[in-house]
Amino acid sequence: MKKSKTIPVVPKQIIIPFILLTSLFALWGFANAVTDPMVQAFKKVLELSNSQAAWIQMSFYGGYFCMALPAALFMRKYSYKVGILIGLGLYAAGALLFYPAAMTEQFWFFCLGLYVLTFGLAFIETAANPYALAMGPKETATQRLNLAQAFNPVGLILGLFVAQQYVLKKLQSDDITDFSALDEAAKILIKTTDLMVIRDPYVVLGFVILAVLFLFAVSKMPHSKEEVINNQIGDTFKKLFKNSSYTSGVLAQIFYVGAQIMCWTYIYQYAEGIGMDSVSAGYYQMAAFVLFTFGRAIGTFLLRFVNAGKLLMVFALLAIGCTVGVIFINNVIGLYCLVGVSFFMSLMFPTIYGIALGKLTEEESKIGSAGLVMAIVGGALMPKLQGMIIDLGGYGVNDLSIAGISEINFSFLLPVLCFAFIAMYGRKNSA
């Protein structure tokens, strides 16, 4: 115990590069947070069903799945820094695509912009997570990643603030009880105006990312300490597949990201089910992000004293408890439970990541990181499945009861199952 306290989490000589690296965690947090409310926004503006609107999340998180492995293979040959620069370029390009998308008023064009944007995020996350692990002693690698990931909620809070103040509050379609009942001319006018409102934050974000790209390009970043041995890619894959901690970690990450996005995306539908408007629901999501931030900080501190797997298991079990409350309590108390889930989710992503890559070489980590980033596809698949459950009874969120439970409440059984697997993964790696 005494020895662990003497080992620095971040060596003094690389504090500045580490701070620059952590800014990336905030930047993809912003993209995640500003996108979640867009599901509800596009649903209203373009008159989509819950499952149709979920294509936003399919596009966003599907980009991770498609690009993570190519990104890893690229960085296997080149450096983390080059991967980050390419990622920032794609991030900016995807955000700026929202300008022509708004001009054409085509839903698929917006989805394309998000798809390209997450090509960039796949590069960034595939590089940044193992880079953070490598920036210092192996003994404090999981702590260091949790510290870097602690800046992710900062981006989440800022992204949600922008979405709430500059998008949701300005949508004219959200002020109309029955938007579909308007005449076609009125709809077209409101649609054009609202799509420009949705466009603006992404265009501004695109220019901000270009500035960050320039900053990274001119900054000197440390090289990894471990000498990379370029084994045959097939050999690396074989080693990874034989590592049960890694393979089950990828599955755990799929379920975690799926659960996170379901709990954050459908907070608006849950609020709608108890008679709350989208702007008010946004305040509850803001509270969820604040709890997520505190949870990440507290979790990072507790990891100094508690085994990572054991703490992961405890947090997953407590998340299950909160989500059960969401299912069976159909009022504002249930919404409080849904907000509370975020506190216990906060530790999961970096801890699963750290456990899964903990015993890998740097060569294996570069490829292994791709699998864990590809696992973010859980955020594409599971919200779509949850949207299909909510749509069983029709366009609304309370059209049908399943086993005596409203369809929106019942749909949160999916996060419960996800957290159950994560709890088992934590228990397995608690020794």
Determine the average pLDDT of the residues in 315-334.
95
**Rounded percentage of the chain residues whose pLDDT exceeds 70:** 94
User: Over 80: is that where the pLDDT of 176 sits?
Assistant: no
The better pLDDT of the pair 69, 310 is held by: 310
Res. 277 pLDDT band, cuts 50 70 90 = confident
Res. 178 pLDDT band, cuts 50 70 90 = low
Q: Which domains does the chain have, with CATH numbers?
A: 13-223+234-428 (1.20.1250.20)
Q: Which long-range contacts (CB under 8 A, 24 or more apart) does 194-197 make?
A: 194/41, 194/45, 194/170, 195/45, 195/101, 195/102, 195/105, 196/102, 197/166, 197/167, 197/170, 197/171
DSSP code per residue over 32-67:
HHHHHHHHHHHHHHTT--HHHHTHHHHHHHHHHHHH
The rounded radius of gyration (Å) of the Cα atoms in the chain is 21
User: Over 50: is that where the pLDDT of 269 sits?
Assistant: yes
Determine the average pLDDT of the residues in 324-337.
94
State residue 416's pLDDT score.
97
Cα 267 from chain centre: 15
Give the separation between CA 84 and CA 88, rounded to whole angstroms: 6
Helix runs in 98-151, H state only: 98-104, 107-134, 141-149
159 close to 38: Cβ distance less than 8 angstroms: no
Tell me the backbone φ, ψ of residue 405, rounded to 5 degrees: -120, 135
State residue 6's pLDDT score.
67
Q: Which of 58-72, 137-151, 154-168, 277-291 has the lowest mean pLDDT?
A: 137-151
Mean pLDDT over the full length of the chain: 85
Return the exposure string of 35-55: e unless at least 16 CB atoms fall within 10 Å of the residue's CB, then b.
Answer: bbbbbbbbbbbbebebbbbbb
Per residue in 105-163, pLDDT (tens digit) is 898 999 999 999 999 998 998 888 888 877 877 777 777 887 888 888 888 889 888 88
State residue 3's pLDDT score.
46
Res. 179 pLDDT band, cuts 50 70 90 = low
Give the separation between CA 110 and CA 59, rounded to whole angstroms: 9
State residue 426's pLDDT score.
95
Q: Which of 138-142, 286-290, 309-313, 347-351 has the lowest mean pLDDT?
A: 138-142
CA dihedral 42, 47, 51, 54 (to 10 degrees): -10
Per residue in 216-256, pLDDT (tens digit) is 888 888 765 444 445 567 777 788 888 888 999 999 999 99
Structure tokens given for 278? 């989208």
User: Over 90: is that where the pLDDT of 180 sits?
Assistant: no
Return the exposure string of 230-252: e unless at least 16 CB atoms fall within 10 Å of the residue's CB, then b.
Answer: eeeeeebeebbeebebbebbbbb
Determine the average pLDDT of the residues in 79-106.
93
